[in-house]
Amino acid sequence: MTDRSSSVPPLAVEAGFFRGRRIAELQQAMAGGGLTAEDLVRHAGAAIERLNPQLNAFVHVDIGAALATARERDAERAQGKARGPLHGIPVAIKDNVDTADMPTTMGAAHFLGHRPAADARCVALLREAGAIIVGKTLTHEFAYGPTGDRSVQGAARNPWRASQITGGSSAGSAGAVASGMVPVALGTDTGGSVRVPSALCGLVGFKPTHGRVSDAGVFPLSPSLEDPGVLAGCVEDAQLFMQALSAGAMAPAAASGTDGPRVAWVANAPFAIDTAAVTARVRAAAQRLAGGPLRDAPEVTRHARALQAALGAIQRAEAYEVHAERIEDQPEKFDPEVLERLRASRGVLGWEYVRALKERARLQAEFARLFQEVDVLALPTVAITAPALQQRSVAGPGSAGVRETLLGLTNPWNVLGLPAISLPAGWVDGLPVGLQLVAAAGADEALLALAASRWQPPRE
Amino acid sequence: MTDRSSSVPPLAVEAGFFRGRRIAELQQAMAGGGLTAEDLVRHAGAAIERLNPQLNAFVHVDIGAALATARERDAERAQGKARGPLHGIPVAIKDNVDTADMPTTMGAAHFLGHRPAADARCVALLREAGAIIVGKTLTHEFAYGPTGDRSVQGAARNPWRASQITGGSSAGSAGAVASGMVPVALGTDTGGSVRVPSALCGLVGFKPTHGRVSDAGVFPLSPSLEDPGVLAGCVEDAQLFMQALSAGAMAPAAASGTDGPRVAWVANAPFAIDTAAVTARVRAAAQRLAGGPLRDAPEVTRHARALQAALGAIQRAEAYEVHAERIEDQPEKFDPEVLERLRASRGVLGWEYVRALKERARLQAEFARLFQEVDVLALPTVAITAPALQQRSVAGPGSAGVRETLLGLTNPWNVLGLPAISLPAGWVDGLPVGLQLVAAAGADEALLALAASRWQPPRE
Q: Check CB contact of B313 with chain A, cutoff 8 Å.
A: yes
Please tell me the distance from the alpha carbon of residue B193 to that of residue B198, in angstroms, as a whole number. Answer: 9
Query: What is the distance in angstroms between the Cα of A349 and the nearest Cα belonging to chain B?
Result: 4
A20 and A94 in a single domain? The answer is: yes
How would residue B5 be classed by pLDDT, with cut points 50, 70 and 90? very low
pLDDT at position A276 over 50 = yes
A41 and A90 in a single domain? The answer is: yes
- Provide the 10 A C-beta neighbour count for residue B64: 10
Which residues of A are less than 8 Å from B352 in CB distance? 321, 350
- Provide the 10 A C-beta neighbour count for residue A278: 25
State the sign of the Cα–Cα–Cα–Cα dihedral A110, A116, A122, A126.
positive
Taking alpha carbons only, the member of A126, A20, A17, A121 closest to residue A73 is A126
Interface of A with B in 90-149 (CB under 8 A): none
Interface of A with B in 414-453 (CB under 8 A): none
pLDDT at position B4 over 60 = no
* Contact yes or no for B311/B305 (Cβ under 8 A): no
How would residue B2 be classed by pLDDT, with cut points 50, 70 and 90? very low
* Contact yes or no for A47/A20 (Cβ under 8 A): no
Q: Residue A316: which of B320, B350, B358 has the nearest Cβ?
A: B350
The predicted structure's pLDDT at residue A395: 82
CATH number at residue B64: 3.90.1300.10
Residue in chain A closest to B222 (alpha carbons) equals A354
Taking alpha carbons only, the member of B227, B39, B46 closest to residue B132 is B39
- For the question of an ipTM over 0.85, the answer is yes
Across the interface, whether the CB atoms of A317 and B351 are under 8 A apart is answered yes
Q: Check CB contact of B274 with chain A, cutoff 8 Å.
A: no
Burial environment of residue B216 by CB neighbours within 10 A (0 to 12, 13 to 18, 19 or more) = middle
pLDDT at position B403 over 50 = yes
| Distant-in-sequence, close-in-space partners of A349: CB < 8 Å, separation ≥ 6 | B317, B320, B346, B347, B348, B349, B350
A232 and A278 in a single domain? The answer is: no
Residue A51 belongs to some domain of the structure = yes
Helix (H, G, I), strand (E, B) or coil at A38: helix
**Buried residues in B425-453 as b, exposed as e (16+ CB within 10 A):** bbbbeebbbbbbbbbbbbbbbbbbbbbbe
Helix (H, G, I), strand (E, B) or coil at A376: strand
A86 and A181 in a single domain? The answer is: yes
- Cis peptide bond upstream of A270, omega within 30: yes
The predicted structure's pLDDT at residue B397: 67
pLDDT at position B218 over 80 = yes
The predicted structure's pLDDT at residue A260: 84
Output phi, psi for B387, to 5 deg. -70, 170
A228 and A276 in a single domain? The answer is: no
Residue type, position B334, single letter: F
The predicted structure's pLDDT at residue A114: 97
* Contact yes or no for A90/A134 (Cβ under 8 A): yes
Residue A320 belongs to some domain of the structure = yes
Output phi, psi for B404, to 5 deg. -65, -40
Q: Check CB contact of B343 with chain A, cutoff 8 Å.
A: no
The predicted structure's pLDDT at residue A218: 98
pLDDT at position A1 over 50 = no
Residue A217 belongs to some domain of the structure = yes
How would residue A2 be classed by pLDDT, with cut points 50, 70 and 90? very low
A204 and A338 in a single domain? The answer is: no
Q: Residue A317: which of B320, B321, B354 has the nearest Cβ?
A: B354
A105 and A150 in a single domain? The answer is: yes
Q: Check CB contact of B216 with chain A, cutoff 8 Å.
A: no
- Cis peptide bond upstream of B270, omega within 30: yes
The CA-to-CA distance between both ends of chain A, in Å, stands at 14
Q: What is the pLDDT of residues A193-252, one digit of tens each?
A: 999 999 999 999 999 999 999 999 999 999 999 999 999 999 999 999 999 999 989 988
Taking alpha carbons only, the member of B351, B321, B313 closest to residue A316 is B351
Across the interface, whether the CB atoms of A318 and B351 are under 8 A apart is answered yes
Q: Residue B346: which of A346, A349, A353 has the nearest Cβ?
A: A349
Q: Check CB contact of B345 with chain A, cutoff 8 Å.
A: yes
Which residues of A are less than 8 Å from B359 in CB distance? none
How would residue A257 be classed by pLDDT, with cut points 50, 70 and 90? low
Across the interface, whether the CB atoms of A351 and B346 are under 8 A apart is answered yes
A19 and A145 in a single domain? The answer is: yes
Output phi, psi for A90, to 5 deg. -70, 135
Q: Check CB contact of A318 with chain B, cutoff 8 Å.
A: yes
Percentage of chain B lying above the pLDDT 70 cut: 98
Which residues of B are less than 8 Å from A359 in CB distance? none
The predicted structure's pLDDT at residue A43: 98
Burial environment of residue B42 by CB neighbours within 10 A (0 to 12, 13 to 18, 19 or more) = middle
Q: What is the pLDDT of residues A175-202, one digit of tens each?
A: 999 999 999 999 999 999 999 999 999 9
Across the interface, whether the CB atoms of B313 and A350 are under 8 A apart is answered yes
Which residues of B are less than 8 Å from A353 in CB distance? 317, 350, 353-354
Q: Best mutation site among B224, B348, B354 for testing chain A: the one with the most A CBs within 10 Å?
A: B354
Q: Check CB contact of A344 with chain B, cutoff 8 Å.
A: no
* Contact yes or no for A97/A228 (Cβ under 8 A): yes
- Cis peptide bond upstream of A169, omega within 30: yes
Residue A187 belongs to some domain of the structure = yes
Across the interface, whether the CB atoms of B317 and A353 are under 8 A apart is answered yes
Helix (H, G, I), strand (E, B) or coil at A263: strand
pLDDT at position B248 over 70 = yes
Task: Report the catalytic residues of B.
Answer: 94, 169, 193
Q: What secondary structure, in 3-state letters, does chain B show?
A: CCCHHHHCCCCCCCCCCCCCCCHHHHHHHHHCCCCCHHHHHHHHHHHHHHHHHHHCCEEEECHHHHHHHHHHHHHHHHCCCCCCCCCCCEEEEECCECCCCCCCCCCCHHHCCCCCCCCCHHHHHHHHCCCEEEEEECCCHHHCCCCCCCCCCCCCCECCECCECCCCCCHHHHHHHHCCCCCEEEEEECCCCCHHHHHHCCCEEEECCCCCCCCCCECCCCCCCCEEEEEECCHHHHHHHHHHHCCCCCCCCCCCCCCCCCEEECCCCCCCCCCHHHHHHHHHHHHHHHCCCCEECHHHHHCHHHHHHHHHHHHHHHHHHHHHHHHHHCHHHCCHHHHHHHHHHCCCEHHHHHHHHHHHHHHHHHHHHHCCCCCEEEEECCCCCCCECCCCECCCCCCCEHHHHHHCCCHHHHHHCCCEEEEEEEEECCEEEEEEEECCCCCHHHHHHHHHHHCCCCCC
- The pLDDT mean for chain B works out to 95
The predicted structure's pLDDT at residue B258: 61
* Contact yes or no for A421/A448 (Cβ under 8 A): yes
For the segment B262-276, the average pLDDT, to the nearest whole number, is 95
pLDDT at position A7 over 80 = no
Task: Report the catalytic residues of A.
Answer: 94, 169, 193
Q: What is the pLDDT of residues A300-348, one digit of tens each?
A: 999 999 999 999 999 999 999 999 999 999 999 999 999 999 999 999 9
Q: Best mutation site among A311, A351, A352, A359 for testing chain B: the one with the most B CBs within 10 Å?
A: A351
The predicted structure's pLDDT at residue B459: 74
The predicted structure's pLDDT at residue B253: 85
Residue in chain A closest to B350 (alpha carbons) equals A350
Q: Residue B354: which of A318, A347, A358 has the nearest Cβ?
A: A318
For the segment B398-415, the average pLDDT, to the nearest whole number, is 94
A210 and A70 in a single domain? The answer is: yes
For the segment B326-339, the average pLDDT, to the nearest whole number, is 97
Residue A426 belongs to some domain of the structure = no
Q: Check CB contact of A352 with chain B, cutoff 8 Å.
A: yes
Query: What is the distance in angstroms between the Cα of B269 and the nearest Cα belonging to chain A?
Result: 29
For the segment B299-326, the average pLDDT, to the nearest whole number, is 96
The predicted structure's pLDDT at residue A227: 98
Residue in chain B closest to A314 (alpha carbons) equals B350
Q: Residue A354: which of B321, B355, B358 has the nearest Cβ?
A: B321
pLDDT at position B240 over 80 = yes
Across the interface, whether the CB atoms of B317 and A347 are under 8 A apart is answered no
Of residues B373 and B457, which shows the higher confidence score? Answer: B373
A286 and A187 in a single domain? The answer is: no
Which residues of A are less than 8 Å from B353 in CB distance? 317, 350, 353-354
Residue in chain A closest to B358 (alpha carbons) equals A321
Across the interface, whether the CB atoms of B321 and A347 are under 8 A apart is answered no
Across the interface, whether the CB atoms of B350 and A353 are under 8 A apart is answered yes
- The pLDDT mean for chain A works out to 95
Across the interface, whether the CB atoms of A350 and B355 are under 8 A apart is answered no
The predicted structure's pLDDT at residue B302: 94
| Distant-in-sequence, close-in-space partners of B393: CB < 8 Å, separation ≥ 6 | B399, B400, B401, B402
Residue A96 belongs to some domain of the structure = yes
Q: Residue B316: which of A320, A350, A355 has the nearest Cβ?
A: A350
**Buried residues in A291-330 as b, exposed as e (16+ CB within 10 A):** eeebeebeebeebbebbbebbbbbbbbbbbbbbbebbeee
Q: What is the pLDDT of residues A96-137, one digit of tens each?
A: 999 999 999 999 999 999 999 999 999 999 999 999 999 999
Query: What is the distance in angstroms between the Cα of B310 and the nearest Cα belonging to chain A?
Result: 12
Residue A436 belongs to some domain of the structure = no
Q: What is the pLDDT of residues B181-201, one digit of tens each?
A: 999 999 999 999 999 999 999
The predicted structure's pLDDT at residue A460: 59
How would residue B6 be classed by pLDDT, with cut points 50, 70 and 90? very low
Interface of B with A in 356-385 (CB under 8 A): 358
Query: What is the distance in angstroms between the Cα of B345 and the nearest Cα belonging to chain A?
Result: 9
A281 and A199 in a single domain? The answer is: no
Q: Which domain holds residue A237?
A: 4-245
Across the interface, whether the CB atoms of B350 and A355 are under 8 A apart is answered no
* Contact yes or no for B194/B423 (Cβ under 8 A): no
Across the interface, whether the CB atoms of A355 and B321 are under 8 A apart is answered yes
User: What does each C-alpha distance from A102 to A65, A89, B423 come to in angstroms?
Assistant: 10, 18, 57
The predicted structure's pLDDT at residue B457: 82
Residue A241 belongs to some domain of the structure = yes
Across the interface, whether the CB atoms of B352 and A350 are under 8 A apart is answered yes
- Paired residues of B434 in beta bridges: B424
Question: What does the DSSP 8-state code read for residue A384?
Answer: S
Helix (H) or strand (E) holding A310: helix A304-329
Percentage of chain A lying above the pLDDT 70 cut: 98
Number of domains making up chain B: 1
Query: Cα B292–B295–B297 angle (5° rounding)?
Result: 155
Q: Check CB contact of B344 with chain A, cutoff 8 Å.
A: no
Instruction: Please give the interface size between A and B, counted as residue pairs whose CB atoms are below 8 Å apart.
Output: 65
Q: Check CB contact of A353 with chain B, cutoff 8 Å.
A: yes
The predicted structure's pLDDT at residue A72: 98
Q: What is the pLDDT of residues A64-79, one digit of tens each?
A: 999 999 999 999 999 9
Which residues of B are less than 8 Å from A313 in CB distance? 350
A171 and A312 in a single domain? The answer is: no
